[in-house]
Amino acid sequence: MFRNLSPTVRNLIFINIAVYVLGGFLPQGLLSLHYFQAKDFHVYQVVSYMFVHASFMHLLGNMFGLYMFGSLLERIWGAQRFLFFYFFCGIGAGLLYMGIQHFIDFADFRRATEIVLSDPSSMHLYDYAQHYQVISLPDGNVNLEWARENYAEYVNRSQLAGASGAIFGILMAFGYLFPNSEMYLFPFPIPIKAKYFVSGYGLYELYQGIQQYQGDNVAHFAHIGGMVFAVILLMVWKTKRNQFY
């Protein structure tokens, strides 16, 4: 099986497996991507998170996608361009995910915390204390230090891990370059063209991300980010046709 893999894809699979095996010996959250305002955020995590997986099935799913579509793209583009594309999509996915966190996921909590910290006895105090379960003092004021720590701990718990953003970028590239290629989805014996599969998958991820179902730990907007940055790079390369392949 590995003999049919292109060199870069094979190396990426081996590295991901090695990081998964050795991950148990590393401090928890060291390599996964934290929100950029979190205390445990480090710049290197924008890259390192792509090699960290939460479970064996998480790893298996991503490596299967890399195995299925990566080698073909590497043989078309060459190792250097393929590797650039892989990291461009993966890093882009992480950045878009953090953007969603900043402007949507954490926005209300951040604004509420800022209001209370600026005016602890304001009209927003009661709502804040009730909604975010903040400890109040006898005089009715919020424990300001606890409020700061509460927000800091809240955003620090969020971690992004996995190569999914890069893999979704690869999937998008496959659908873009080979739109009429037919694929079979187990267990259905009916072929579907790549352009329909990729488009449908992207819409599904967008829907799931918007719904934000409770208990859903999948970073759907990271998947969307990988696809978006793939399209951006493919469009840039397309305008420079002499450099596209």
How many structural domains does the chain have? Answer: 1
Q: What is the pLDDT of residue 110?
A: 79
Domain membership of residue 116 (yes or no) is no
User: 81-120: per-residue pLDDT in tens?
Assistant: 999 999 999 999 999 999 999 888 888 777 777 776 777 6
CATH classification of the domain holding 203 = 1.20.1540.10
Please determine, for residue 245, whether its predicted confidence score (pLDDT) is greater than 50. Answer: no
Structure tokens at 173: 């590239």
Domain membership of residue 136 (yes or no) is no
Domain membership of residue 132 (yes or no) is no
Residue indicated by tokens 């709502």: 127
Burial class of residue 153 (count of CB atoms within 10 Å of its CB; 0-12, 13-18, 19+): exposed
Domain membership of residue 37 (yes or no) is yes
The answer for residues whose C-beta is within 8 angstroms of residue 172's C-beta and 6 or more apart is: 198, 202, 226, 227, 230, 231, 234
Domain membership of residue 149 (yes or no) is no
Domain membership of residue 144 (yes or no) is no
The answer to which of 48-62, 130-144, 151-165, 186-200 has the lowest mean pLDDT is: 130-144
Domain membership of residue 54 (yes or no) is yes
- The sign of the CA dihedral 150, 152, 157, 160 is positive
| CA pair distance 43, 120, nearest whole angstrom | 34
Domain membership of residue 214 (yes or no) is yes
Q: 31 lies in which domain range?
A: 2-105+162-244
Contact in structure between 133 and 146 (CB atoms under 8 Å): no
